[in-house]
């Protein structure tokens, strides 16, 4: 009787040990590819460090129940679904934030490009105005120089004409004086 009880206890020792290690057990070694393994710190940074399995992988099953009864499995799956929904919400929230940031950056770049384009147009308009001013100023200076040359030529011609007129008047005066002197000498005879 005692021998049978001893044999039963000896056989149950590894079974109990394996059930105690369920939390650290890696079901990937049992050939279940549909079970998900994610580092525990991804979903909950407050969890203790991941337990190393017999394969020495720092991963935990995020839903491995302490036992395989239907109640524990349902609880583990519901916890997995809640954590997955929370992670999905976080990813969607970050995606929206990134999209908002990209939209804001695009808007800022568009406004900056519009301002730069406007500034270049202003500089181009100023350059055209400056070139037009220089053209008009050069044309005015050329016309003024031509007018001054023509005025100088007219003044020189006028001075020459006045000199000729004065010479003609002097010649006429001399002729009159000679005629008057000739008339005086004729009357004395």
pLDDT band at 18 (very low <50, low <70, confident <90, very high): very low
In the chain, domain spans:
21-64, 77-161
pLDDT beyond 80 at 88: yes
Q: What is the pLDDT of residues 45-70, one digit of tens each?
A: 555 554 444 444 444 444 455 566 77
The answer to whether 25 touches 57, Cβ cutoff 8 Å, is no
What are residue 134's phi and psi, to 5 degrees? -65, -40
Would you state the pLDDT for residue 106? Answer: 92
The answer to whether 40 touches 47, Cβ cutoff 8 Å, is yes
Would you state the pLDDT for residue 81? Answer: 85
The answer to whether 54 touches 82, Cβ cutoff 8 Å, is no
Q: What is the pLDDT of residues 115-165, one digit of tens each?
A: 999 999 999 999 999 999 999 999 999 999 999 999 999 999 898 888 888
Distance of CA 20 to the CA centre of its chain: 59
């Amino acid at each position: 009787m005692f021998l049978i009880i001893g044999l039963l206890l000896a056989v149950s020792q590894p079974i109990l040990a394996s059930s105690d290690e369920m939390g650290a057990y890696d079901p990937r070694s049992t050939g279940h590819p549909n079970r998900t393994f994610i580092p525990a710190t991804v979903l909950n940074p407050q969890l203790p460090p991941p337990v190393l399995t017999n394969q020495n992988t720092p991963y935990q099953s995020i839903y491995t129940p302490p036992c395989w009864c239907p109640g524990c499995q349902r609880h583990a799956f519901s916890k997995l679904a809640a954590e997955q929904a929370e992670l999905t919400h976080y990813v969607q929230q970050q995606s929206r934030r990134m999209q908002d940031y990209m939209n804001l950056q695009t808007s800022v770049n568009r406004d900056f490009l519009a301002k730069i384009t406007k500034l270049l147009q202003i500089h181009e308009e100023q350059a055209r105005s400056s070139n037009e001013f220089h053209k008009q100023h050069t044309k005015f200076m050329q016309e003024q120089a031509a007018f001054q040359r023509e005025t100088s030529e007219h003044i020189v011609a006028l001075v020459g004409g006045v000199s000729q007129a004065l010479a003609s008047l002097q010649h006429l005066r001399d002729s009159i004086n000679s005629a008057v002197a000739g008339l005086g000498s004729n009357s004395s005879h």
